[in-house]
Amino acid sequence: MENSAIIVGLDIGTTKICAIVGKRNEVGKVEILGMGKSESLGVMRGVVANIEKTVNSIKEAVAEAENKSNVVIEEVYVGIAGQHIKSLQHRGMITRTNTTNEISQTDIDAIILDMYKLAMPPGEEIIHVIPQEFIIDNEQGIKEPIGMSGIRLEANCHIITGLITAARNIQKCVTKAGLKPVDLVLEPLASAEAVLTEEEKEAGVVLVDIGGGTTDVAIFQDGIIRHTAVIPFGGNVITEDIKEGCTIIRSQAELLKIKFGSALAKQMKDNEIVSIPGLRGREPKEISVKNLSSIIQARMEEIIENVYYEIKNSGFEKKLIAGIVVTGGGSQLKHITQLVEYITGMDTRIGYPNEHLGQGYDEVKSPMYATGVGLVLKGMHEYDKARKGNKGKATSLAIETTQHRGNWFKYIFEKGKEFLNDETDDPKL
């Protein structure tokens, strides 16, 4: 990965595990080289519940991605989600001793590093520290402090925490699958990277990623992440409700939801009936499409009300001009945008991860791959940042080496001079 910017995103979801291989093309868009996916058997509500099954599913998805992309996958950017994810706001501060030097990335890194030392409740750790805005010598609202002068540098940070065990289990699964996890990325942040535009983040927007086991929420305003939350309901709960309500097996319930389901029951006709073959020669079962949609709508309303509670809780409800962007597999449900608009009163659109993608590989442009594409994009940003940093390091190293070389020649010259002077002072000569 050091030689070429081929990045792999690994989305370990509740329903599927997906590996996406991508690189940047000549016009700066992301070109998808290959994708592999497998059924996720060892994950429940975004958290690993069975290591062995998860490892096998990861291996299967990665092998398929390798075949399709002709790339040997060694390092991956992994998504993390789950009910245990929490977020908080905190302010960090450093006092700079050298006032003549401008504020650099090193100073910002020092604040971020300091944040990771915050005392957490037992069993929790900090996953991300995201600087929101900076304060230089009491001057507030600075977004880009690099290049400015100042003594006291403060930063308001958005801190995302999670259970140590959940993060360790994900890393363990990835390592056991023969891969190296480069970084753990919070899934709503990855999805936001793939489906939101800079204008939306500036205006104020809510990203709602409806996955199989969880619904992730991320709120942006003024181009800054303001609030994150994970709701422990997703598409799987809807499938369970259909299974119970229609007394059918799970696989049939999933198919019914995808093919005939709707988030608004009143949009469906009363006389529309779906016939499901009976098990082992039993009589086929007839299910009203309107009843099916009533079951889906009831659960969907509960999920959206939880999302709306998080929006109100963030304190930014009145500042979200761009409204709501719904993505993830659950966003493919018919009439989902109408139901979200009806409950929240906010403009809603479906988020497709095609904002930063080049031509080809249309399958990846579905909302269900938003997290995977976002992980690739996050990886590319990290790669670019590291490359810039290394350039700086290489330059300073070259200067340092030249200085050392200059000092060495000076040392040799001085010693030679001393030796000649000593020889000249010899009385025998």
pLDDT (tens digit per residue) in 108-139: 999 999 999 999 999 999 999 999 999 999 89
Pick the CATH number of 86-163 from 3.30.1490.110, 3.40.640.10, 3.20.20.190, 3.30.365.10: 3.30.1490.110
In terms of C-beta density within 10 A (0-12 exposed, 13-18 middle, 19 or more buried), how is residue 229 classed?
buried
List every span in the chain annotated with CATH 3.30.1490.110.
Answer: 86-163
Does residue 298 register a pLDDT over 90? Answer: yes
pLDDT, one tens digit per residue, over 362-371 is 788 899 999 9
Are 170 and 331 a contacting pair, CB within 8 Å? no
pTM: 0.84
Does residue 403 register a pLDDT over 90? Answer: no
In the structure, what pLDDT confidence band is assigned to residue 303 with cuts at 50, 70 and 90?
very high
**Domain 197-352: which CATH class?**
alpha beta
Q: What angle do CA 97, 101, 104 make, to 5 degrees?
A: 95
Are 228 and 188 a contacting pair, CB within 8 Å? yes
pLDDT, one tens digit per residue, over 19-60 is 999 988 887 788 899 999 999 988 888 889 999 999 999 999
Are 10 and 17 a contacting pair, CB within 8 Å? yes
Q: Which of 44-48, 161-165, 205-209 has the lowest mean pLDDT?
A: 44-48
Does residue 425 register a pLDDT over 60? Answer: no
Q: Which of 44, 344, 81 is nearest to 191 (CA)?
A: 81
Q: What angle do CA 209, 212, 215 make, to 5 degrees?
A: 35
pLDDT at 276: 84
β-pairing, 215-221 with 205-210? antiparallel
> What is the residue-averaged pLDDT of the chain?
86
Q: Please state the separation of Cα 91 from the chain's center in Å.
A: 23
List every span in the chain annotated with CATH 3.30.420.40.
Answer: 197-352
Give the pair of three-digit tokens for residue 180. 């190296």
| Separation in Å, CA 90 to CA 118, 154, 212, 244, 326 | 10, 10, 32, 45, 28
Cα separation, 375 vs 103, in Å, equals: 30
pLDDT at 392: 45
Q: Please state the separation of Cα 116 from the chain's center in Å.
A: 19
